[in-house]
Amino acid sequence: MEKFDKLTAIAAPMPLINIDTDMIIPKQFLKTIKRSGLGANLFDEMRFNLDGTEIADFVLNKPAYRSAEIIVAGDNFGCGSSREHAPWALLDFGIRCVVAPSFADIFYNNCFKNGILPITLPQEQIDVLMDDATKGGNARISVDLTDQTISASDGTEFAFEVDAFKKHCLMNGLDDIGLTMEKVASIDTFEAGLAQSRPWL
């Protein structure tokens, strides 16, 4: 998993509440267990017409936001089913950070396990960042996970809270497998001892 420390990037404004996981990656794209390739269908029903052509006024189809790495969204982002494909699709598209007043719990936790930083802020602070995001490429939002701050393009800075363990994992690029691999020496010692004491197993 890619480490997350600091990010300065274009932020896409999505002032919608209750953006659910089926909106993020519709159910017909859940047949794969690969983490790559899902970005092409991120927000599929909002990005594309039935004939596959782009919906021009959807934010991620606008030239200014095609390379966005941050989304500033409304309340209850990631609600709905618990599909891990949702953060996979966001990450594959290039999104490394989502800022919202609140998140669905399972989606929130899945973000950390897949290299995405979800930031929760009060609505009045979201409003400032949302307004800044509407400036497109002329304004970049900066995120510093070490200091736990997020800054608008004019330097306005907000502090955010994050669980210390989740922060450690994200800053060190540790998903569940990575955390297990940190203990490989202890696991090997245990297995060797078990083989000696219980050779019949």
pLDDT tens across 138-175, in order? Answer: 889 999 999 999 999 999 999 999 999 999 999 999 87
Cβ-based neighbour number of residue 93 at 10 Å: 20
Q: How many CA atoms lie within 13 A of 138 on its CB side?
A: 4
Instruction: Enter the tokens of residue 171.
Output: 């800053």
How many whole angstroms separate alpha carbon 171 and alpha carbon 173?
A: 6
Whether pLDDT at 29 is above 80: yes
Check whether 180 has a pLDDT greater than 60: no
> What domains, with CATH codes, occur in the chain?
6-197 (3.20.19.10)
pLDDT at position 24 is 97
Q: Is the pLDDT of residue 50 over 90?
A: yes
As a whole number of angstroms, the distance between CA 18 and CA 146 comes to 29
pTM for this prediction: 0.87
Q: Reading across the β-sheet that carries 70-73, which strands appear in turn?
A: 11-14, 70-73, 97-100, 117-120
